[in-house]
Chain A
Amino acid sequence: TVFKISTEYPDGNAVLNELRAVGERIEAQTEGRVTFKFYPGGVMGDGTAVQRKIRIGQLHGTFIHSGALAESYKNSQVLNAPLLFRDFDEVDAVRAEFDPILNQGFIDSGWHTYGLIEGGFAYAMTAVPATDIETLKSQKLWLPANDPFSEKIARAFDISPIVLNIGDVLTALQTGAIDAIVTPPVGAITLQWYSRTKYLTDAPFMYTYGVIALAEKAVQRLSEADQEILAAELTASSKTLDTMARSDNLTAFTALESLGINIVQLVPEVRAAFEQEAAQATEKLIESGEIEQALYDRIVVVLDRIRNP
């Protein structure tokens, strides 16, 4: 049985190497009954196109950012709530408790996932130092095309962004058509966006993660035993990718500083006001049914416990 898997990560990248490696391990363990083909670099299209192709069976799975699957599983967005986390310790505490719940949520929505894979914190990077919310809001901020959740967050914050494809962002930064982006450090470096921004606001704007998601009906083609091998290997691999992303992003963050990006710290009052506004934006997302109140509240309880021990 062949599993055709698409991903936005390009060939030659460490992520692809890991995916190919796990593919070979599974092939060996199932004595060739299960093989993998990877379609890197986003050649199969954006998240929606990929899901359509999975629906018709041209593809069987994807390594994709969680937002793309939000249509099938709304609550997957809960970890993306703006300014939810202050640092990675909080992330680790929350994920220790909620990873199994979210993973089961994906499975109940028809996607076989094997654990959450970190994408990192997305930070606001700007041309002028953004020391308060008003400055940040008045920037010409880039919004990726075909990304409903980012759009909803922008709406909730009442910002008017400029919608562009990823490939046009560097040019737009160069000409000044946009002057602010929200991106994980790794993205800022590989896509060269850092070269056209000067400042990074040290408030993790959004936590991002991805999943290796296989279509339920594709997995059901396998025998019980093969399904177990698949699950064991992909779970281990997701863990590896998760750890890899964490260290890559930490390295990239430090690299940004040495590449001349100034890290802007928010004074406590501004930070509090910013978090306040983010909480209100999250309320709007909950009201419009994007995230379930109960689940969000449970996460807030965990966060409160860490913040006020």
Chain B
Amino acid sequence: MSAALSGLLLLAALIGAPLFTIILGGAALGFWSSGIDLMVLPIELYRLTENTLLMALPLFTFAGYLLSESKTADRLVRLSEAALGWLPGGMVLISLLACAFFTMLTGGSGVTIVALGALLVPALKQAGYTDKFAIGLVTTSGSMGLLLPPAIPLILYGIVAQQMNVAVNIQDLFIAGLIPAFLMILSLWGYGLWSQRHQIIPLIPFNWRTLIKEAKNSKWELGIPLIVLGGLLSGWLVISDIAAITALYVLIVEVFIYKDVSLKALPRIATEAMKMVGGILLILGVALAFTNLLVDMEMPAKVFDWVKANIDSRWAFLLCLNIGLLALGAILDIFAALIIIVPLILPVALEYGIDPIHLGIIFVANMQIGYFTPPVGMNLFIASYRFKRPITELYRATIPMMFVLLFVVLVITYWPEMVLFLVR
């Protein structure tokens, strides 16, 4: 019976049933076979209300949709050409930094893709990059920045480790995350230069006057990073506050100052944005239920008992760790993964002589790639939906970049001195 139903689920997934129904169906099937009341499903969905950070998702997304409906992309391209047009791959670097910064604030929840995607993809294309490259870059960068402070995953890792009486200083984690994060950004930039070498992307000589002129043109939009950074650094605001202020600010700027968006268009834009957010949040909610099923069945513990029993070399352990974490990153929420998996692997890793700071960086770096690992990385679905492209096209666009980052992760994994250099 269960096998037949599992087969039905797989079939439903393949023929394109909504993702949330697949996950929900899977969770329902699992709980039903474990004899647990299916009321657990709404209980888990309701847990969406536990987290204050989730508020940032609809608010930033709305702001992002407003920006993408206005002429911000044009202004942004002209400004970045004026600022970094002299540098080969300048627009690529700008996109990478913008995504990393935004993800640092919002986590890997896909907000980056939704909010910045419609801005950066046209900007990149306008600058001369191919459509495939632009979409791949933004999708890949949707989880870039999880290693940068004050991204929550590293803090959470540190806390879990400390609770197990393993001395891990969170500052050290932040410092250790810097080199890997910048290595990832630089290697994608380098990949961009190489893969787009046949595209005609003229270099623009630097000119102060043009830069000032373009900065004046987009002065209101330049207020957005100011609000975000200022709110964060001055300590006036927390992330959900920043999201609300940004949404209101963008609304006022685009509707009343630039007048790029008419008042009448607002309900349509808001609905479009919330349709997207609703889809994502619902998937997050049912994914909570699915994660709970795995936890209830004590799946993670079983897997790691097996690892402990069957793997004995440090290198083999690290390789298994990479593969396992990639897979987990693709199916589990990063926070759930940290809370569930770290207590299991940390003692094992210590036995193999792995530095706990190093392990934290390996963990988050792998999770970051898990977000766009085919076939089920969450950010692939979000990008497919946001850019209205079939998922297969997203696979093709991101796979080369995934290998680039995978190479960086291997370097991070097998060259601990590089990661721990700044800490020591």
Contact = CB atoms under 8 A, between A and B. Distances in A.
Are chains A and B touching directly in their complex (CB below 8 angstroms)? yes
Interface string A5-17: 0000111111000
Given A56-B39, A167-B156, A168-B152, A45 B50 contact: yes
B238 A176 contact: no
Majority-rule SS of B interface residues: helix
Interface in B41-73: 43-44, 46-47, 50-53
A37 B298 contact: yes
Interface residues of A, number: 42
B50 A172 contact: no
A172 B346 CA distance: 27
Contact of B36 (A9, A40, A56): A56
Given A44-B295, A168-B152, A177-B238, A56 B37 contact: yes
A197 to B, nearest CB: 14
B296 interface: yes
Interface string B330-349: 00000110011001101100
Nearest to A191: B159
B234 A176 contact: yes
Contact of B239 (A52, A56, A163, A168): A168
Contacts of A10: 160, 163-164, 339, 343
A54 B44 CA distance: 13
A190 interface: yes
Contacts of A146: 50
B159 A192 contact: yes
A56 B52 contact: no
A243 to B, nearest CB: 19
Nearest to B301: A11
Contacts of B226: none
Given A37-B298, A176-B235, A58 B40 contact: yes
Interface string A26-44: 0000000000010111111
Nearest to A55: B39
A302 to B, nearest CB: 35
Nearest to B38: A56
Given A41-B160, A192-B170, A12 B152 contact: no
Contacts of A52: 43
A65 to B, nearest CB: 16
Interface in B301-344: 335-336, 339-340, 343-344
Interface in A109-163: 145-146, 162-163
Nearest to A162: B238
Interface in A219-249: none
A192 B163 CA distance: 11
A192 B161 CA distance: 12
B51 A165 contact: yes
A41 B339 contact: yes
B155 A12 contact: no
A165 B52 CA distance: 6
Nearest to A10: B163
A41 B343 contact: yes
B421 interface: no
Contacts of A46: 47, 50
Contacts of A13: 163-165
Interface in A173-188: 174-177, 179
A11 B343 contact: yes
A11 B40 contact: no
Interface string B156-173: 101110111100001100
Contact of A165 (B53, B236, B344, B346): B53
Nearest to B151: A171
Contacts of B152: 167-168, 171
A301 to B, nearest CB: 40
Contacts of B196: none
B276 interface: no
B257 to A, nearest CB: 28
Contacts of A145: 50-52
A174 B40 contact: no
B44 to A, nearest CB: 8
A190 B168 CA distance: 10
B130 interface: no
B292 interface: yes
A100 interface: no
Contacts of A49: 43-44, 46-47, 50
B50 A43 contact: no
Given A43-B340, A56-B36, A164-B52, A177 B158 contact: no
Contacts of B347: 12
Contacts of B158: 192
B190 to A, nearest CB: 32
A175 B233 contact: yes
Contacts of B40: 53, 56, 58
Interface in A29-87: 37, 39-46, 49, 52-53, 56-58
A58 B37 contact: yes
Contacts of A39: 295-296
B235 A177 contact: yes
Contacts of B160: 10, 41
A-B pairs, 8 with minimum CB distance: A176-B235, A12-B164, A11-B343, A56-B37, A10-B163, A41-B339, A171-B150, A177-B238
Given A56-B43, A176-B234, 4 more contacts: A10-B339, A165-B50, A192-B158, A192-B162
9 contacts: A43-B292, A43-B340, A56-B43, A58-B296, A168-B52, A171-B150, A175-B235, A190-B163, A192-B159
Interface of B: 36-37, 39-40, 43-44, 46-47, 50-53, 150, 152, 155-156, 158-160, 162-165, 170-171, 232-239, 292, 295-296, 298, 335-336, 339-340, 343-344, 346-347
